[in-house]
Structure 1
Amino acid sequence: MSNTYQASDFGRVAVLLGGDSAEREVSLRSGKAVAAALQRQGIDVIEFDPAKRQITDLIEEKVDRALIMLHGRGGEDGSMQGALQQLKIPYTGSGVLGSALAMDKIHSKQIWESLGMPTAKYQIADKSDFEAGSCSAIMKRLGNKVMVKPACEGSSIGMAKVTSAKQLETAIQDAFNYDNQVLLEQFIDGPEFTVALLQGKALPSIRMSTPHTFYDYAAKYQDDTTQYFCPSGLSDEQEARLAELASKAFHALSGKGWGRVDVMQDASGDFYLLESNTVPGMTEKSLVPKAARVAGIDFDALTLAILATSMPE
């Protein structure tokens, strides 16, 4: 990763944070940490919460570029990216298409599957025609351990791991509170890894270990019981294979600039793609800063590298 920019090159920067998605609180923490880091480096920064202000206020604020720290709907799904393009304000990370594709777990899987990339067996439940009577057959087809995920939520919101048809029915109905389409995915028994991507390079992988039934919202943001291993304990060959897979998966969804790809590994060592994140968390517990530290990039330098993704290529 090379960065030859001076603070003055960026002009006035709006850090977009908060928003009105289910991930608002995490976004506020991420955005405030990033804004403080940029200010420490002499950059002219304002914090901008689109839930409190009209997006057109960015013009009045004479903003030169936007660093997007909005997680979830409205910030990570392409809609904010489209709005900024209309306002002709350069922004960090993926564009409209890449953001929209990565936000939708079902479309992500369909693209990866069409390109022959490894991803767990799955089925889609649609609110308009879901029948509770189908749950037994779904459990059997997906190996009797199933992850239930709303198609377009992040931070593990609305997700559940189930081991019976009755649990599956309850979890699907709960997930329908968040989305009209729900992804039902065969549970891969094994460690979970994440690979951060920054300016075209994969950072060292992180392995997550939690006493929770899976890496859920509490394990991510609230508990101190989750353990993170970076280096992750993979062999050099496996690390290289995982980095290549994550990079290809990210680019397959038109990802740009920076992001993160989550992966499971089964008992025989094979990797399975879970999802791609185009605006990963940047809180004190977040994964991208952990991986960057191991790669020799401190938090301030990381925020500058992310901001640099708003510059012309």
Structure 2
Amino acid sequence: MSAVNDMIRVPALRTTDPAVFGRVAVLLGGTSAEREVSLNSGANVLAALRARGVDAHAIDGIPALVEQLAAKRFDRVFNILHGGDGENGVLQGLLQAFAIPYTGPDVLGSALTMDKVRTKQVWLAEGLPTARFVRLPHGADVATAVRELGFPVFIKPSAEGSSVGVFRVMGESDLAPAVEFAKTYDGELLAEQLVAGGEYTVGILGDIALPSVKIVPPGEWYDYHAKYISDDTQYICPGLSGDDEAEIRRLAMAGFRSAGCSGWGRVDVMRHADGRFALMEVNTAPGMTSHSLVPKAAGQVGIDFAELCWRILEKTLGGAA
């Protein structure tokens, strides 16, 4: 391992007995735009937990889960429901009402970070760096807002993930598709400064900021295809070294905690050409597919996929850090 990884102290497991978790629901699928990715992630998590002896079962979507919880068939939930009600606080509030422990941040952290605009507003209030942006409520004049912000920009939904509905607008000739999308999209959008430096992500596991991952897509940017389909995307971990690596991990943890998050997640960070970092967004139920980044980073500090799933589930035990 590198010197960077040597600085990360991984605590001992809290338990090695799968029976302490009871019956575990692995919540996956659902109805959001990220359903297929969630099914993939969930299948991987389910297999990993079962391989370590956990009594885990797949549940597709929140309505099916409610039925099972009402019948008191589960003791805790491993949430791998990407997007929508799985990450916006709705599920978290439901589970708290049922007094069922669950993975990932609570209602506040989930609801806040699902909204990119409000997350950025909190970061700015906390003095944390983020890319310049303009909030675009439904019906806003997208073209005018983009021109005021200045090209190049990304236009994206404030409350979607997995690069769904994202437009890369380099100049006037790229505006039309984004403007047309805005007319049909009911939610809020944001126009965000395109940071032309390196793209990084930092996985969070309890009190540990895992080694950064530098993302080098085969095309011009890290779109849905580069994330989930292409085998040509390069992932460099650790993405940085020395003081730069320490700083990006510190900043990611500060961004995670200031947004009310705990448990586990992932913080995406861009780096300007002059070396400054910019927090971009927080993912409270990160992907767990073969292309996903938290497992890659965990592997760098000796945590394999099955152990990662176990450690995430451990955070649902009383008093887990």
- TM more than 0.5: yes
Unaligned runs of 5+ in 1: none
Query: Following TM superposition, by how much is the alpha carbon of 1:173 offset from its aligned partner in structure 2, in angstroms?
Result: 3.3
* Equivalence map 1:115-264=2 (5 Å): 115-128=126-139, 130-131=140-141, 134=144, 138-139=146-147, 141-175=148-182, 177-232=184-239, 234-264=240-270
Cross-structure match for 1:114: 125
Unaligned runs of 5+ in 2: 1-10
Cross-structure match for 1:55: 66
Identity, % of aligned positions: 46
Structure 2 counterpart of 1:220, one-letter code: K
CA distance in 1, matches of 2:248, 2:183: 33
Q: 2:291 is matched with which residue: 278, 285, 305?
A: 285
Q: 1:64 is matched with which residue: 68, 75, 88?
A: 75
Residue 89 (structure 2) pairs with residue 82 (structure 1):
no
Q: 1:2 is matched with which residue: 9, 12, 16?
A: 12
Q: 1:99 is matched with which residue: 91, 107, 110?
A: 110
Structure 2 counterpart of 1:146, one-letter code: V
Query: Following TM superposition, by how much is the alpha carbon of 1:258 offset from its aligned partner in structure 2, in angstroms?
Result: 0.3
> Secondary structure, in 3 states, of the residue corresponding to 2:85?
coil
Task: Give the TM-score normalised by structure 1.
Answer: 0.94
Query: Following TM superposition, by how much is the alpha carbon of 1:211 offset from its aligned partner in structure 2, in angstroms?
Result: 2.7
Structure 1 counterpart of 2:13, one-letter code: N
Structure 2 counterpart of 1:123, one-letter code: V
Cross-structure match for 1:275: 281
Against the structure 1 CA distance between its residues 156 and 45, is the aligned structure 2 distance closer, same or farther, given a 3 Å change threshold?
same
Structure 2 counterpart of 1:309, one-letter code: K
CA contact (8 A) 2:14 2:314 kept: no
CA contact (8 A) 1:150 1:175 kept: no
Against the structure 1 CA distance between its residues 241 and 54, is the aligned structure 2 distance closer, same or farther, given a 3 Å change threshold?
closer
Query: Following TM superposition, by how much is the alpha carbon of 1:225 offset from its aligned partner in structure 2, in angstroms?
Result: 1.9
Task: Give the TM-score normalised by structure 2.
Answer: 0.92
Offset from partner CA, 1:79-118 (integer Å, 9 cap, x none): 0111111111110110011001111100011100111111
Against the structure 1 CA distance between its residues 131 and 304, is the aligned structure 2 distance closer, same or farther, given a 3 Å change threshold?
same
CA contact (8 A) 1:258 1:278 kept: yes
CA contact (8 A) 1:125 1:184 kept: yes
CA distance in 2, matches of 1:98, 1:180: 20
Structure 2 counterpart of 1:131, one-letter code: D
Query: Following TM superposition, by how much is the alpha carbon of 1:167 offset from its aligned partner in structure 2, in angstroms?
Result: 2.5
Against the structure 1 CA distance between its residues 48 and 307, is the aligned structure 2 distance closer, same or farther, given a 3 Å change threshold?
same
> Secondary structure, in 3 states, of the residue corresponding to 2:66?
coil
Query: Following TM superposition, by how much is the alpha carbon of 1:311 offset from its aligned partner in structure 2, in angstroms?
Result: 1.4
